[in-house]
Amino acid sequence: MNLREIYKAYVNQLTSLYPDTEARSLVMWLFEAYLSVDRKDVLNNQPILQIPEALQNAMNKLMAGEPIQYILEKAPFYGREFRVGPGVLIPRNETEELVQLILQNHKGKMKVLDLGTGSGCIAITLALEWAEAEVSGLDISEQALAVANENAAKYAAKLNFIKADVLQKDLNLEKFDLMVSNPPYVLEKERTLMQANVLKHEPELALFVPDEDPLRFYKAICLHAKESLHPNGFLYFEINEAFGPEVVSMMNSEGFGEVRLVQDINGKDRIVYGQVQQTES
C-alpha cells in the first residue's frame, strides 16, 4: 500500500460531495495533518504500512459533511492559522481583503474595535500587522470569545475582548478611531444556495439575517459608531454582494461622509466604508 493509492481512493470518495479540485485539496490537508507528508511524497509513491485511525476518523467526518476546518480545528487567515470550532464562524478569503484595505488606508496610533469578532481573525491580524494600533474585539458569544482569546495568546497579540450584543441600544463603549465589522448578512432565502456542510455545522447566529430586515446589524452598528467614534472616525463593513448600494445609502443617511463601495477580487461588491461626520460635544 502506498500514499498514491490511498490518495486516489479518498479523492474518489469525496467527489460524491465536493468538486474534484476541492476533493484533492481536502485529501492533501488530511495527509499533511495526520501523515506529515506533502504532494511530493504522494507523487513519489511513498509506501505506508497502515492508515492511522485518526486519519480515517477525519475522513469519515469529511464524508459526513463536517467542514475540514472544524475537523482540524484550524483555518488559515492572512498568513496565519487560527483556531476554530463549532460555534465559531470559519474565516473567509473575502475578509482578508477587508483587513488588507484597512492596513493600506491607515497608519499610526489608532484605537480600533472589531464588532462581531468571532475567532478574532480580524482583530488579531490588525493588532499584529499594525503595531501602533490599540485593538479590541466584541462578540455576544462566550464560545467565540474563548476561541478568540486562545488565538490572541497563540500569537502574543495584545487585545481587549468585550462580551456584548451589537443589537443592544446602549453599549456604553469608549471612544474609537476606527470600527470594523463582518456581521451576519446571509438572507434566510439564500439557504438553498449554500453548501450543506455550512448549513449543518457553522453557527447560524453568525451567518443569517431575516429576509425582511437584511441590514439590521449594519443599522445597529452605524448607531454605535456615531456614538463611539471620534470625529472623522472610520467605519468599515464587509457586506452581502446584493446590498452594496443599500449599505452605502444607509451610511449616507446616517450622516457618514466619503462613503465608498469596494469590490472584491472576484468583482463583487464586498466592502463599504466611510467617515462619521460630527464634532466633539
Tens-digit pLDDT profile for residues 87-117 = 888 898 999 999 999 999 999 999 999 999 9
Read off the C-alpha cell for 124. 488579531
Instruction: Find out whether 119 is annotated in a ligand binding site.
Output: yes
What pLDDT shows up at residue 199? 44
> Mean pLDDT, to the nearest integer, of 196-209?
51
Percent above pLDDT 90 for the chain: 67
- Angle formed by the axes of helices 93-105 and 121-129, nearest 10°: 40
Contacts of 141 (CB under 8 A, 6+ apart): 87, 88, 118, 203, 205, 206
What pLDDT shows up at residue 190? 56
Instruction: Find out whether 118 is annotated in a ligand binding site.
Output: yes
**C-alpha 226 chain-centroid distance:** 24
Instruction: Find out whether 67 is annotated in a ligand binding site.
Output: no
Prediction pTM value = 0.87
pLDDT band at 213 (very low <50, low <70, confident <90, very high): low
Instruction: Find out whether 255 is annotated in a ligand binding site.
Output: no
User: Of 59, 25, 65, whose CA–CA distance to 197 is shortest?
Assistant: 65
Task: Outline where DSSP puts E strands in the chain.
Answer: 75-77, 80-82, 111-115, 134-139, 159-163, 176-181, 186-187, 208-209, 229-238, 256-263, 269-276
Instruction: Find out whether 279 is annotated in a ligand binding site.
Output: no
Phi/psi region, residue 73 (left: phi>0; alpha: psi -120 to 50; beta: rest), is left
Instruction: Find out whether 139 is annotated in a ligand binding site.
Output: yes
Instruction: Find out whether 65 is annotated in a ligand binding site.
Output: no
Instruction: Find out whether 184 is annotated in a ligand binding site.
Output: yes
